[in-house]
Structure 1
Amino acid sequence: MLKTMQQVLFSSGLQLPKFTKDEKQQGKDYETRTYQATKWVSVTLGGMQLDEALSAGFRRLFSYIQGNNHNKVKVEMTAPVTGRVDPGDGPTCDSHFTVSFFLPEEHQDNPPEPSDPEVFVEHRKEFTAYVRTYSGFSNEKMKREELLKLLESLQRDGVPHVEKPFYVAGYDSPFKLTNRRNEVWILKEEPQG
């Protein structure tokens, strides 16, 4: 419990999903990362407010890692917490938000089965993302601004990318006051085969 509280308060020592950086395809203001295939525990919510969905999803997933699963197993906190955003078709259409925690290495082969019927284990295939990192206490406005900056950079560099979905990623607990790390991810457009 003490270790979990330290991780929540200081966000240090958390397991992260493994990725490789493509040094040849780096922008001056973004990274290109290829993430390995991994399992995440996730919940999908509908609505129009990203921060509300992230908060509600976080609570459901935190319950899962605290033992609200069929095995009653406590699962270590990891980083980042990601939010996949599938925007609605128009200004008044609901978007879908999938909030996810990366499952630690010791649970990758056999993740505890969620008790909450809305929570599921997600098998993410290997993927490449363009990543823009920024600091501070992120909010919906900042996420949108950073996403637009990343889109402008990709267009400037002529980099093929997917318009939607996109991801937001947070690495720190709300109690960490300095050196905060946030990211927006846009997926690389894969050639049609």
Structure 2
Amino acid sequence: MNNMGTLLLLSLLSLCGTAVRAEEGASTDGKFPEFCGDRECPKFHLVQQYDSFELRAYEGTQWVTTELDDGFLGFGMVTSFRRLFNYISGKNSQGIKIEMTVPVLMQYPSKDTGCNATMSFFLSPSLVNPPQPLDPAVHLENSPPLFVYVLSFGGYALDYDYKKKAKALAEKLGNQGLSFDDSVRTTAGYNDPFTLLNRHNEVWYKAK
């Protein structure tokens, strides 16, 4: 995905996120990591802090997911985002609006897996039975508890930055003899473009 697509997605995230927060409200009970801001995000336990990355244990989570389109100048990324945003805006079997969460997760399988890249929104555990999507290109999925190696970094992150950081994380894991699944590269974005300070981005590799 090119940098133009990333910029378009950031702009759309800003507009959509603001609209949902204004209508639905935001979590303020302090139970989420500080970098999640005023949005709900998945819970995790910090297992090990290394010099520049960490190992987290995540609880089981639920997500709404669609394929990550690769359209001209990155417009496909925006199309994928709109599908998911339409779902949380009421295009679902119950017609309910669901609060925007973080992170926006993108998974990029290696070419030899034969799988397509995906984009996902986290769904709050308070949605015991999430409504079914009406768009056939959108589906619900459950992620079991898992351990992931995470490298966090700040600033405005474009696709190039995520790839560079993922490569750095893979090298660090290899140098320390830590076993991980390199068949899928995961990126996690937490901020809209109007957040100027303390921006938070992550790259993940699943621990083996």
TM-score bucket (shorter structure): 0.7 to 0.9
Partner of 1:121 in structure 2?
Answer: 140
In 2, Cα distance between the equivalents of 1:169 and 1:176? 16
- Indicate the RMSD between aligned Cα atoms, in angstroms: 2.5
1:181 matched residue in structure 2: 200
Aligned with residue 102 of structure 1, among 112, 119, 122: 122
Cα pair distance change 1:117/1:186, threshold 3 Å: same
Q: Distance in 2 between matches of 1:48 and 1:163?
A: 25
Equivalences for residues 36-185 of structure 1 within 5 A: 36-45=59-68, 47=70, 54-89=77-112, 96-107=116-127, 109-185=128-204
With the length of structure 2 as denominator, give the TM-score of the two structures.
Answer: 0.78
Match of 2:46 among 17, 21, 26: 21
Q: How many residues align?
A: 180
Measure, in 2, the Cα distance between the counterparts of 1:105 and 1:76: 12
8 Å contact 1:54–1:83 — kept in the other structure? Answer: no
Name structure 1 gaps, 5 residues minimum.
none
Q: Secondary structure at the match of 1:105?
A: coil
Instruction: Give the superposition deviation at 1:105.
Output: 2.5
- Change in Cα spacing, 1:48 to 1:178, as seen in structure 2 (3 Å) is same
Identity %: 33
Structure 2 unaligned residues grouped into runs of 5+: 1-17, 27-35
Change (3 A) 1:48 1:166: farther
